Chain A
């Protein structure tokens, strides 16, 4: 619960966090007869406009947490509360980005960005300017009418991020969005994302495998342990903003990265 310098003025007296995850458990039937505990009584709270990264090993239920937050799955126990209201199904105000960009090949970049507007039956002309300005913000001015096949992997993922932000969501859920991108483009994309969320403030829940990425982008880091998924530790990220590639040489960056790695080591994730 801390103030983001570039964020809009918010009353500091709000006692409840924007996203509250309460004793959340999720059990799957992986195969008939074998039940798999993906999340085990996870609890945390995320303040409005916070950039929260979730870092953890593969299969620790990070993605499941995002699905539950979006209301796409029903939890086995516990609940997700958004702005005071429990999530019971898909709710208005969610933007999602996945590892695959999931662009529709037959739509131009602009039309892909406007897909949520079409689905929500909002007036398109009103949002077209916003779509163009989002694309401009991620450096895709002039590519509005390009088809996805004409764009590089990094450019495609930028379009996907614009699509997730077009309807001004209150919560942006990102599931390893840069995992398919080469390392150099990856950092650039991360910093572009920070610039976007500065211009269009929204709460972000960002899942990643990369400890460095989790530290570079976040206000706070949730460290997840191996299955069944649970939060090992919650860390505030005091790395100064705005972040840049130079942030990586900051001593605080390395301290936080080391701290997270030590946490994984203690949990037996790294050996």
Chain B
């Protein structure tokens, strides 16, 4: 992904990309070949392991429902995730800010995280109905935890001396927060986003499994009931590809938003420091 970004030398970079990743590409090709061979074995029924060509054919024959259900699921995931960002960061900030709020929110958050989300889904359906709201809520609940935790961890990383330095200059709490702590926490918070968005996908699909009339989770159940193995596999692969795309769009956003020196970590450990 990164190697393809500079436009002017993209062709040379593309060639370099293939050279550097020759071994990886070869292994993938071999695995795909083995799968194709196994899938066309007469002794193996097609509903156990459809061949890659069968899956492709099935998907190409009727792509419109796939696109429709993908868009439904994507919308739920993105809305749930955005909600988790909008609430998760302030919640993390509050937890770092106040001991009282930490004691108030943290156990609840951990308890919420400990509940299997599948167990939560029927309740959410009762509360929010069969429509997308219950799925958005489930995506939100699953994505919330890593975002809050990473905000807390990232904000706590600011060394106490830095806070002393800022206070000695007469900085207000808000200045310390906006000029140092939040920016320094950004790489960690983006880490939380990456985990959060993939979990939001899991949450949304689980919601669609429980009760829905659209979305990839619902479509997966339909394919399953119809013993349509190629479609079933096609949907699973599509879900995985969508998650990968969401993950890398966060990474792209990170590259666009964060200044270059922050793309790894904010507080460098110096030799001998902190001893």
> Which chain A residues have a beta carbon within 8 Å of chain B's beta carbons?
67, 70-72, 90, 92, 94, 96, 98-102, 104-106, 115-116, 118-120, 147-149, 153, 156, 167, 173, 175, 179-181
Contacts and interface: CB of A to CB of B under 8 A. Distances in A.
Given A104-B183, A149-B261, A120 B272 contact: no
5 contacts: A70-B164, A102-B161, A102-B162, A106-B258, A115-B169
B183 A94 contact: no
Contacts of B168: 70-72, 90, 94, 96, 173
Given A98-B165, A119-B175, A149-B261, A106 B183 contact: yes
Given A105-B262, A106-B261, A72 B167 contact: yes
Contacts of A102: 159, 161-162, 165
Given A90-B170, A92-B170, A120-B170, A105 B165 contact: no
Interface in B165-198: 165-171, 175, 179-180, 183-184
Contact of B164 (A67, A92, A148): A67
Contacts of B258: 106
A67 B165 CA distance: 10
Contacts of A179: 272
B268 interface: yes
Given A104-B180, A106-B183, A119-B169, A99 B164 contact: no
B48 interface: no
Contacts of A99: 161, 273-274
A180 B179 contact: no
B218 to A, nearest CB: 44
Interface string B103-147: 000000000000000000000000000000000000000000000
A50 B86 CA distance: 52
Interface in B234-275: 258-262, 266-268, 270-274
Contacts of B167: 72, 90
A153 B271 contact: yes
Query: How large, as a class, is the contact surface on chain B?
Result: 20 to 34
A99 B170 CA distance: 21
A58 B205 CA distance: 58
Contacts of A101: 270
Name which of B159, B165, B183 has the most chain A CB atoms within 10 A of its CB: B165
A180 B170 contact: no
Contacts of A98: 161, 164-165
A148 B169 contact: no
A67 B164 CA distance: 8
A204 B268 CA distance: 28
A98 to B, nearest CB: 4
Nearest to A99: B273
A96 B167 CA distance: 10
A147 B271 CA distance: 18
Contact of B273 (A105, A148, A180): A180
A71 B165 CA distance: 11
A113 to B, nearest CB: 13
Given A102-B161, A153-B271, A120 B259 contact: no
Interface string B26-51: 00000000000000000000000000
Contact of B171 (A67, A119, A149): A119
Contacts of B259: 106
Contacts of A96: 164-165, 168
